[in-house]
């Protein structure tokens, strides 16, 4: 994990994205982290057999995007000036290219330790754009991705739900969380979803023994759920317990890996009801 505290926040200038920026700045203030707000625009091409970049049209889009981006940051700063102490350092960037690829590339170039992105609930083709890009970033990025669903603000993290498959890296993921997030007085509910697809069903005794053998760094409560729909079960549990954050760690060569197949990543993002932090090993 990178040691610099730096969040990359991509925006499409939608209302949902502005809400997500508010949550991102709250988190950055608590972490004393820097925030880079990014907008990615598609290049314009001339209608020819060979796709020639239209410099004039692209430049016009750039100028408009710069103005909108600066206004977004300025208005959000003004909105939060009495709430955030300190106000995080905020930079803005505009990139030309394919959104998901540009987001991941810039996050690596800036040595960010987290990407925070909004997602929308509506389902028209245009309104799913942000959710689709977020899903692709979740699937392909190597660093943690925070998914912020429309209508849910993340101002403090007091109750977390950690989805586990009882792998050693789960313990390491919890230790990483201690460095990544402000967790003072936080409670973590550790949840496993048993499915018929698993060869071995995990018991409550398995969970307690596994986690108690590791270093207990914050209060843990354990739960076993039975469901064929892992995403739905976790969403429902998180809502019932009024969780601030659902944490999911990718694990290769296991059932959990299927969640990060392209279609499942997209489903997870579009169905998100509470903020989700995806950790990558």
3-state secondary structure of 191: strand
pLDDT of residue 276: 92
Lowest mean pLDDT among 103-107, 108-112, 114-118, 266-270: 266-270
- Beginning with the edge strand found earlier in the chain, give each strand of the sheet holding 6-10 in spatial order: 90-96, 34-41, 6-10, 114-119, 145-149, 276-279, 245-249, 159-163, 187-194, 220-226
Domain boundary among 149, 175, 204: 149
Task: Answer whether residue 55 shows pLDDT above 90.
Answer: no
Same domain (yes/no): 206, 250: yes
Q: What is the pLDDT of residue 128?
A: 54
Reported as a single tens digit per residue, the pLDDT across 82-111 is 999 899 999 999 999 999 999 999 999 999
Higher pLDDT, 216 or 157: 157
* pLDDT attached to residue 248: 87
Residues 125 and 70 sit within 8 Å (Cβ to Cβ): no
Same domain for 64 and 143 = yes
Domain CATH number, residue 12 = 3.40.50.620
DSSP characters over 229-257: -HHHHHHHHHHHTT-SEEEEE--TTSGGG
Q: Say what the pLDDT of residue 134 is.
A: 85
Q: Which domain holds residue 39?
A: 6-149
Does residue 124 surpass a pLDDT of 50? no
Asked if 10 and 138 sit in the same domain, the reply is yes
Torsion 273-240-220-252 (CA) sign: negative
18/51 same-domain check? yes
Q: Give the pLDDT score at 263.
A: 56
Per-residue pLDDT, averaged over 53-62, amounts to: 77
Q: Say what the pTM is.
A: 0.85
Least confident of 9-18, 139-148, 209-218: 209-218
- pLDDT score for 201: 61
Task: Calculate helix-pair angle for 99-109, 129-140, nearest 10 degrees.
Answer: 50
Q: Which residue, 101, 124, 149, sits at the end of a domain?
A: 149
Res. 2: pLDDT tops 60: no
Residues 142 and 35 in one domain: yes
Comparing CA positions, the residue from 190, 185, 186, 181 lying closest to residue 162 is 190
Taking only the tens place, the pLDDT of each residue in 237-248 is: 999 999 999 998
Res 264: pLDDT = 59
Residues 165 and 47 in one domain: no
Share of the chain above pLDDT 70, in %: 79
End-of-domain residue from the set 149, 174, 192: 149
Domain match, 15 and 138 both: yes
- Tell me: the pLDDT tens digits for 176-232? 888 888 878 889 999 988 886 655 566 777 777 777 765 556 788 889 899 988 888
Rounded mean pLDDT of 34-53? 76
pLDDT for residue 46 is more than 80: no
Place of tokens 């309104």: 127
CA–CA dist 280, 209 (Å, integer):
24
Examine the domain organization and report whether 92 and 112 are in the same domain.
yes
Question: Strands 220-226, 245-249: parallel, antiparallel or unpaired by DSSP?
Answer: unpaired
């Amino acid at each position: 994990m990178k040691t610099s505290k730096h969040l990359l926040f991509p925006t499409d200038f939608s209302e949902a994205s502005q809400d997500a920026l508010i949550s991102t700045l709250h988190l950055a203030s608590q972490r004393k982290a820097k925030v880079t707000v990014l907008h990615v625009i598609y290049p314009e091409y001339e209608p020819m057999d060979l796709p020639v970049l239209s410099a004039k049209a692209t430049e016009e889009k750039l100028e408009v995007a710069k103005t909108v981006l600066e206004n977004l940051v300025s208005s959000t700063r003004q909105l939060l000036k009495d709430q955030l102490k300190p106000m995080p350092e905020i930079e803005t960037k505009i990139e030309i290219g394919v959104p998901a690829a540009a987001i991941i590339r810039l996050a690596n170039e800036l040595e960010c330790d987290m990407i925070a992105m909004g997602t929308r609930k509506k389902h028209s083709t245009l309104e799913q754009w942000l959710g689709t890009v977020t899903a692709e970033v979740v699937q392909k990025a190597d660093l943690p991705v925070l998914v912020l669903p429309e209508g849910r603000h993340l101002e403090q993290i007091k109750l977390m739900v950690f989805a586990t498959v009882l792998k050693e890296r789960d313990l390491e993921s919890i230790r990483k969380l201690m460095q990544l997030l402000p967790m003072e007085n936080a409670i973590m509910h550790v949840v496993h979803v048993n499915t018929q697809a698993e060869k071995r069903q995990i018991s409550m005794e398995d969970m307690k023994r596994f986690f108690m053998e590791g270093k207990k760094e914050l209060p843990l409560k354990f739960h076993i759920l039975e469901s064929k729909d892992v995403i739905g079960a976790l969403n429902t549990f998180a809502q019932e317990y009024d969780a601030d954050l659902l944490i999911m760690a990718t694990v290769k060569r296991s059932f959990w890996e299927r969640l990060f197949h392209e279609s499942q990543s997209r489903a997870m993002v579009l169905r998100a009801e509470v903020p989700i932090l995806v950790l990558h090993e």
